[in-house]
Amino acid sequence: MTTCNNEQSPSTAPSIEVAAGSGVCFGVRRALELAEMALAEGQAVYCLGALIHNPQEVARLAGKGFRVISSLDEVAAGDGTLLVRSHGLAPDVVAEARRRGMRIIDATCPLVRRVQTLAVEMQQAGYHVVLAGDEAHPEVRAIQGHAPATVVVGDIEAARRLELAGRVALVSQTTFSPEEFREIAAEIVRRDLAEIRVLNTICAATVDRQRAAAELAGRVDVMFVIGGRNSANTNRLAELCGARGVETYHVEQADEVTADQLSGRRRVGLAAGASTPQWIIQAVCDRIRALQSPPR
């Protein structure tokens, strides 16, 4: 459970509430634990792309010898371990790393693995697989690596343009918007197709986190959404909170919170993306408490 630990405050003190489910999800936590275990063995550990969309946590791991790379060519032959991050990787990339002598630790989130498996099974069963997601997202690219004929649609407009025939199976990126998924599913279901299967593979942790953040945003005076600016799910949380009409600030770290942002605000809400560790949430809580404390 995510908490905002603070000293006992008088009932008149401004309140800080953290939205339920904020912070690192189970898939990212598992990947971080596997990374820490490999680093503890004293090996060089490499990751293709950021393990976690949080610059502060990436910097902390880098201090222990964790290396983010953009190509296997950056690694000397036979050197170290490749950690497959929670987004997964295409099988040919993993095979190439093995061929180069790297040890593989697979931290693909089990929920992402499920989408990969479903896409492969559906394709093998003769379905045209449609994936609702962002085609540039690494999770989506990895799913396409497993099931290459998968067609990606990013929004309802793209779904309307799709030419489909025969049997179709719709799946989704785990962090896709549930509302947009429903729209896309409705668009496909109304088509005259031989068979349509709609497999909602959106991660429940994402849905619950978004719902809790939006609910909290509806009853506070100001919201702070904590997480990497390159984190799609954090940006989405900020969007949802802002849409509730409350002043919303997306911050990566505690020192971005200012006294001006808190001025006159008694109820403060916090939410954090799936890549935001508890220590950063706590640092933001501490910063808000410090700024709220009247000068002595």
Stretch that binds ligand F3S, among 47-55, 75-83, 108-116, 151-159 (CB under 6 A): 108-116
Residue 149 is encoded by which pair of tokens? 């004929």
List 139, 163, 215, 239, catalytic entry: 139
| Region of 93-101, 188-196, 201-209, 282-290 interacting with ligand F3S (CB under 6 A) | 201-209
Indicate whether 111 belongs to the interface with ligand F3S (CB under 6 A).
Answer: yes
Question: Which residues, at least 6 apart from 195, have a Cβ–Cβ distance to it below 8 Å?
Answer: 127, 166, 167, 168
Please calculate the CA angle 264-266-270 and round it to the nearest 5 degrees.
115
Is residue 201 a contact residue for ligand F3S (CB under 6 A)? Answer: no
Determine, following the binding rule CB under 6 A, whether residue 109 of this chain makes contact with ligand F3S.
Answer: yes
Please select the residue that binds ligand F3S; options are 21, 23, 27, 138, rule is CB under 6 A.
27
Rounded to a whole number of angstroms, the minimum distance from the CB of residue 8 to ligand F3S is 34
88 binds ligand F3S (CB under 6 A): no
CB nearer to ligand F3S: give 112 or 170: 112
Question: Is 50 a residue that touches ligand F3S (CB under 6 A)?
Answer: no
Q: Which CB sits closer to ligand F3S, 26 or 249?
A: 26
CA gap 130, 57 in Å, rounded = 34
Decide: is 174 part of the binding site for ligand F3S (CB under 6 A): yes
CB of 29 to ligand F3S, least distance (A): 8
Cβ atoms 53, 87 nearer than 8 A: no
